[in-house]
Structure formats: structure tokens, C-alpha cells
């Protein structure tokens, strides 16, 4: 029985596309991409989901009175699709410890740096790469980790280093990290966790 996966997104959906492509290429065999949930009604990731034939919906935190109401709505759509596992792929909301506790060892996040560098609350998107360049590091990369109650604080599954080159801008570095690390590690981690979950379902 395949592990049922939801992908949470907020923007362009490049990591979602990497998962879609990996599934088509047979690199994700133990899980099925069953749902895409966006926090942003205008996210291009929703278009990517539609093109791939994956059901998608928007749960907009701006339409919710509180974090608890927002997360209750998330839980509703996850239950309706019988989701086993969640992948945060460019998702810009921080989930509460209470929400995370409902999916123990079943929520993955990809972060565009080598944790513990340039991580935690407020470190996302281009800001991470700008900080790496300002600091003058020679190596950066990406990390896939389990999500726990602390921002970017969960156990690490995979990391991959990527060189910083002279003349890099945050945009150039972001692209290199995505291509050389994020898009490589995320499908690998999803397959690993989905396989373990599928085995437990079977037992």
C-alpha cells in the first residue's frame, strides 16, 4: 500500500515540480502525491499541480482568525484525503508544535542551507543565500529534515554541500542550491520515509 503524501506550498513550486518529475521517473515508488495544499491562492505551484493531475486546494491563513483555526482547516483537508505524510516544499508558514505532534516523524522540510547554519525563524528564500554570501562562506547547500516543534530543528535526514563561487548573487546561488542539492535530496528523502511508512502499514 502506497504512502499518501500531501505537499504544502506557498509560491512557485519548484520543489513540488522536482517531486512530480521524480515520481514520473520512478524515483518515488513507495508514495503517491495525493494532494497539494497552498497557503497562497496565487501560487504558481497550484498550476503545476493541475498540470500533473494532482488534486489541490488553498487554505489561506489570511482568512482565518487564528493559527488554531488555520490548522483545523488544514487537518480537515488532510483527513479528507487520508494523508499519511506531509512535505513542506517552499511553504512559508510555521506549523505549531500541536499540529506537528499529530504527524510524528511524518512531516519533511527542505531548507536551502546546511543546518545549523542560516536557519530558524525568518530564514527562508533568498534571505538565506544573501546571508551566506554576506558571511563569506565557501560552502552552502541544502538540508532535508523531519519537522518538530522548533523551526528547522528536527532530525536531519540528508544534507548536500554546494560550492559558493566568486561573483555569486543570491539569485544565482539559490538556483545552484536548488539544482545541485534540493532537487536531488528531497525526492530521495520522500522515498525513504514513504517506504518506511508503507512497510509499517503492511505490518
CA angle 98, 100, 104 (to 5 degrees): 120
How many structural domains compose the chain?
1
**Residue owning grid cell 483537508:** 77
Instruction: Give the HSE-up count for residue 19: Cα atoms under 13 Å, Cβ half-sphere.
Output: 33
The DSSP output letter for 180 is: I
Residues 6+ apart with CB under 8 A from 199: none
Closest CA to 115 of 168, 176, 181, 180: 181
User: CB neighbours (10 Å) of residue 202?
Assistant: 7
Structural domain for 34, as ranges: 3-202
Per residue in 166-179, pLDDT (tens digit) is 999 999 999 999 99
The sign one gets for the Cα dihedral 154, 156, 157, 163 is: positive
Q: To the nearest 10°, the Cα dihedral for 33, 36, 126, 137?
A: -30
Find the CATH number of the domain harbouring 160.
Answer: 3.40.50.170
Residue 36 pLDDT more than 90? yes
Per residue in 49-95, pLDDT (tens digit) is 999 999 999 999 999 999 999 999 999 999 999 999 999 999 989 89
Per residue in 3-28, pLDDT (tens digit) is 999 999 999 999 999 999 999 999 99
Residue 201 pLDDT more than 90? no
Residues labelled as active-site residues: 111
Separation CA 188–CA 186 (nearest Å): 5
**Residue owning grid cell 515520481:** 23
Per residue in 79-135, pLDDT (tens digit) is 999 999 999 999 989 899 999 999 999 999 999 999 999 988 888 889 999 999 999
Residue 121: its pLDDT value, please? 83
| Out of 30-34, 50-54, 146-150, least confident range | 146-150
Amino acid at each position: 500500500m502506497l504512502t499518501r503524501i500531501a505537499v504544502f506550498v506557498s509560491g512557485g513550486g519548484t520543489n513540488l515540480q522536482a517531486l512530480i518529475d521524480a515520481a514520473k521517473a520512478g524515483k518515488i515508488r513507495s508514495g503517491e502525491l495525493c494532494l497539494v495544499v497552498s497557503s497562497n491562492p496565487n501560487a504558481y505551484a497550484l498550476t503545476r499541480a493541475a498540470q500533473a493531475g494532482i488534486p489541490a486546494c488553498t487554505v489561506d491563513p489570511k482568512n482565518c482568525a487564528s493559527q488554531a483555526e488555520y490548522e483545523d482547516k488544514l487537518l480537515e483537508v488532510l483527513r479528507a484525503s487520508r494523508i499519511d505524510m506531509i512535505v513542506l516544499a517552499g511553504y512559508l508558514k510555521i506549523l505549531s508544535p500541536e499540529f506537528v505532534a499529530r504527524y510524528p516523524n511524518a512531516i519533511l522540510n527542505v531548507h536551502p542551507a546546511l543546518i545549523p547554519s542560516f536557519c530558524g525563524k525568518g530564514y527562508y528564500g533568498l534571505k538565506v543565500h544573501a546571508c551566506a554570501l554576506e558571511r563569506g562562506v565557501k560552502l552552502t547547500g541544502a538540508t532535508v529534515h523531519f519537522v518538530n516543534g522548533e523551526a528547522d530543528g528536527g532530525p536531519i535526514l540528508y544534507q548536500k554541500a554546494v560550492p559558493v563561487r566568486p561573483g555569486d548573487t543570491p539569485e544565482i546561488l539559490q538556483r545552484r542550491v536548488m539544482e545541485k542539492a534540493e532537487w536531488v535530496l528531497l525526492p530521495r528523502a520522500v522515498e525513504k520515509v514513504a517506504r518506511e511508512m508503507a512497510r509499517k502499514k503492511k505490518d
